[in-house]
Structure 1
Amino acid sequence: MTSFEVPLTRREAVVRRLRQEITAGQLPAGTVLKDAELAARLGVSITPVREAITQLAAEGLVDVAPNRTRKVAGLTQKSALELVDVMELLACAGFAGGVDNLTDEHLARLRTRYTEYTGALARGDVTTASAAGADFSTIVVMANGNRELQSMLDLVVVRVLRMLAMESHSDSWRPWVEGYGEVLELLERGDRAGAVARYRRIYVEFRAAVERSLWPGEAGDA
């Protein structure tokens, strides 16, 4: 039987588009989201735009003020560190659970994603790099077979990717570039325990990089 891709609904299409624009920094924090303007720009009616913004608010990407004004949510250093901690708990649990189920096919896909990841960064293509980097972890987590864990992780990753929607030479990329490369080498050598330990260290290094960052509006607290 021939497989086919189910087309996105208008709401799903708008959610995906706005989520991409937010995580890529094309819609910066504080941007007011107006239904009519977005509908006109995206070529849809107001209803799917409103539904999409409601979903993005549930994901923490949009803030809704008491007067119903919707803005792209800001991200403080404190909230960023909290997100990193949550992502670490979910991702490391999924990685540790899936690593023993990896096949040669999985390893080949990991190598492909890592090549795409580093290549995109070299080109300064932050959006492609973010997607490839997220897929690298997803391949291992999904080998665990726990789809609920991956679903929760996806929501957190979307928000964390906003921290990486910056210049491709940012120090925050370094833990992932070096860490993913070393994890992949360990997996290809058959050192699964070593790969898990190195994967966990990525989050320690990334958290330290976030702590070193000076976030907008927090200069006085440094």
Structure 2
Amino acid sequence: MTYAVPPTRTAAVVRQLRNEIISGELPPGTLVKDAELAARLGVSITPVREAIAQLSVEGLIDIAPNRTRHVTKVTQKNALELIDVMSVLACAGFEWGVENLTSTHIDLMRQRQKEFVEGLRAGNTLAAGAAGADFSTIVILASGNRELQSMVDLVVARTLRILAMGAESELWTTWIRGHDAILELLDCGDRRGAVERYRQIYVEYRAQVESHLFDVG
């Protein structure tokens, strides 16, 4: 999978910090300090502050009234709420876009699915998560509704973070099996069936998060 080089220092800092939060390198509750981050990343304070503001919008960093910043903590309640929101947005985009898919789109989805599986086998959850997200993005963008994709983008990082928390669980398997089934249905021309199978992924995913992911702690 190829990744675009961020066009600005702020974008580079956003990507770096987002990846560190999703992977758990910056654990929930970690105090975020501008100067320390700027020194570690070799940039000035300005792009760090701009990046923190962006990640706050994405829900990955909490900014308290006294202006202290912490990596957002994940609870079962907000995880389930996030899944419900993501389900509404992504399933709508998938339904709107599926009828516009061409053979080229489906080939790209198959490639992203391959990268998804390979990333997991290599233990690279960041690459796997990005490829898995792209699988859905291809369909959502086929709908032609870029406003919807922008809304999905705001919550996708938090969704990937939940998946990373369950790296050793069956959460990933739910998506792999679901994607494989969707590709088979699309190959057979059953686009309505593909939409229903996509919805089912979220039903199974939510149930697993509710039942297992927060058992410890």
* Matched letter for residue 99 of structure 1: V
Native 8 Å contact 1:122 1:168 kept in 2: no
Q: CA RMSD in A?
A: 1.6
Say if 1:84 and 1:207, in contact at 8 Å, map to a contact too: yes
Specify the alignment match of 1:215 in structure 2: 214
Tell me how far apart the structure 1 counterparts of residues 55 and 75 of structure 2 sit (CA, whole Å). Answer: 18
Q: Which runs of 5 or more residues in structure 2 are unaligned?
A: none
Residue matched to 2:36: 37
Match of 2:10 in 1: 11
- CA deviations on 1:13-42 (whole Å, 9 max, x unpaired) are 111111111112111101111111110111
Cα distance, 1:6 vs structure 2: 8.4
What's the counterpart of residue 70 of structure 1? 69
Q: Identify the range of structure 1 (130-139 vs 206-215) with the bigger mean alpha-carbon deviation.
A: 206-215
Give the Cα separation in 1 of the matches to 2:149 and 2:109: 17
Give 1:105-124 correspondences, 5 Å limit. Answer: 105-124=104-123
Q: TM-score, normalized by length of structure 2?
A: 0.94
- Where do 5+ consecutive residues of structure 1 fail to align? none
- In the superposition, relative to structure 1, how do residues 6 and 75 fare at CA in structure 2: closer, same or farther (>3 Å)? closer
The corresponding residue for 1:91 is: 90
Stretch deviating more after TM superposition (142-151 or 157-166): 157-166
C-alpha change, 1:43 and 1:54, in structure 2 (3 Å) is same
**TM-score computed with the length of structure 1 as normaliser:** 0.92
Q: How does 1:166-177 map to 2 (within 5 A)?
A: 166=165, 168-177=167-176
Distance 1:95-1:62 versus aligned 2 partners, 3 A rule? same
1:158 aligns with 2:161: no
What is the identity percentage for the equivalent residue pairs of Structure 1 and Structure 2? 62
State how far apart, in whole Å, the 1-side matches of 2:40 and 2:5 are: 24
Amino acid at match of 2:129: S
Distance 1:76 1:30 in 2: 12
How far is the alpha carbon of 1:165 from its aligned partner?
Answer: 1.4
Q: How far apart in 1 are the matches of 2:210 and 2:185?
A: 28
Counterpart in the other structure of 1:181? 180
Return the alpha-carbon distance in structure 1 between the equivalents of residues 67 and 59 of structure 2: 15
Distance 1:212 1:7 in 2: 38
Cα distance between partner residues in 1 of 2:62 and 2:48:
15
Alpha-carbon deviation of 1:199? 0.6
Give the number of aligned pairs: 214
- Which structure has the larger Rg over C-alpha atoms? 1
The letter of the residue matching 1:204 is V
- The offset of 1:66, in angstroms, is 2.8
Provide runs of 4+ in structure 1 moved above 4 Å.
none
For the Cα contact (< 8 Å) 1:126–1:166, is it kept in 2?
no
Change in CA separation of 1:159 and 1:6 when aligned onto 2, cut-off 3 Å? closer
Deviations 1:91-143 (A, max 9, x none): 00000000011111001101100111111112221111100000000001100
Structure-2 separation of matches of 1:80 and 1:104: 35
Letter in 2 for 1:100: E
CA distance in structure 1 between the partners assigned to 2:213 and 2:165 by the alignment: 13
**Does the CA-based 8 Å contact 2:166-2:213 persist in structure 1?**
no
